[in-house]
Amino acid sequence: MSTLYRYAILSLCVLALASLPACKTMDTLSEVGAGVAVATGVATPQQGESIKKAGSAVGKTFEAITPEQEYYIGRTVGAVVLNQYKPLNNEAANNYLNVLGQTLAQFSDKPETFGGYHFLIMETEDVNAFSAPGGLIFISRGMIRCCQNEDALAAVLAHEIGHVELQHGLQAISKSRMTSALTILATESAKSLGGQELAQLTEAFEGSITDITSTMMNNGYSRGFERQADRAAVTILQRSGYDPNGLTTMLTQMKKQLSHGDGRKPGGHDFAKTHPSPDSRIEDIVKWVGPVKPVVSPVVRQARFQAAAGKI
């Protein structure tokens, strides 16, 4: 009898949950605030509407950034990366990287972004790779030299695609910056932004770019974000038909390279500084795909990899 009652109560709870509107508290709060502002003559009814919208947008944090806005953030993040690292002007190598990278992106959970995925080689011996929000991905010559086959290179690109897919860049924007940016963003349409609002918005934009680039290039993402990107990479590799051991192969090679570095070369240890140790990453990957096995690349695949990336 009591069990049956419990069933009935549980069922009612399911019903109640199904009709519960999400994030209502924030909406209600801003409604009250906007109402007061309008009633006291502080805001016009139209501005009142905007304040309401601003409140609910702030409640959603980085998710309120539209793909179009993410695209503009990504373009500037990319330009800042290239202000520090010179692009490698090698059309054939960059084209190969884009064929491989854009193909892999099709197998991610987010194959479509506002401006699409695009890849570029940075002319530096530093072992590094960066992804700007929206899908602009940069990989150093030093990093490509750590890859012994196409599967390993695919793994590096898939890891960066993972950061894009999971919007890790946007999540590096500080909470207070996001709040002030979203408040301005939600206030009015772009067309009605006055000079001062545009200046404020640009300030929030600049701050967001700094938050993202300093996290990416100096501090690194959290261990959790790196693990998520590795997990996404394994998924992309498995779906596309590449060997997920490409990732462990690359990490093993990187470990060797890093231990042989003299440590005094400027920026020589950037990747080590911004990423968890290769060993701890391999440990996780083994849990997902089983024991580390060497990649056996078909002859045709190895030949084209050597031709495109072997001499850069």
Partner 1 sequence: MIQIKQIAAAVMVTAIAVVMASAVMTASGATMSVQVKDAPVRATPSFVGKVMGALAYGDQVEIQQTQGAWSKIAGAGVSGWMHTSALSSKKIVLAAGQEQAKVAASGDELALAGKGFNSDVEAQFKSAHKDIDFTWINRMEKIKIPSSEMQVFLKDGDVTPKEGGAK
Q: Which residues between 84 and 103 bind partner 1 (CB under 8 A)? A: 87, 94-95, 98-100, 102-103
Q: Which of 26, 29, 37, 82 binds partner 1 (CB under 8 A)?
A: 82
Is residue 73 close enough to count as binding partner 1 by CB under 8 A? yes
Phi/psi of residue 87, nearest 5 degrees: -70, 150
Buried b (16+ CB within 10 A) or exposed e, 19-43: eeeeeeeebeebeebbeebbeeeeb
Q: Does 174 bind partner 1 (CB under 8 A)?
A: no
Indicate whether 269 belongs to the interface with partner 1 (CB under 8 A): no
CB-count exposure of residue 83 (10 Å: 0-12, 13-18, 19+): exposed
Site string for partner 1, 42-71 (x = CB under 8 A): ----x--xx-xx--x--------xxxxx--
Distance CA 216, CA 231 (A): 19
Q: Which residues are within 8 A (CB) of 142 and not within 5 positions of it... i.e. 6 or more apart? A: 124, 125, 126, 127, 128
Amino acid letter for position 11: S
Of 206-265, binders to partner 1 (CB under 8 A) are 206, 208-209, 238-242
Between the alpha carbon of residue 229 and those of residues 105, 163, 276, the distances in Å are 13, 5, 12
Q: Which residues fall within 8 angstroms of residue 84, CB to CB, at 6 or more apart? A: 217
Task: Rank residues 150 and 282 by Cβ distance to partner 1 and give the closer one.
Answer: 150
Site membership for partner 1, residue 8 (CB under 8 A): yes
Q: How far is the CB of 179 from partner 1 (least distance, A)?
A: 14
Least Å from the CB of residue 297 to partner 1: 9
Judged by CB under 8 A, how many residues of this single chain contact partner 1?
Answer: 82
Give 264 or 300: the residue with its C-beta nearer to partner 1. 300
**Residue 275 CB, nearest distance to partner 1 (Å)?**
24
Q: What are phi and psi of 193, to 5 degrees?
A: -65, 125
Q: Which of residues 13-42 bind partner 1 (CB under 8 A)?
A: 14-15, 18-19
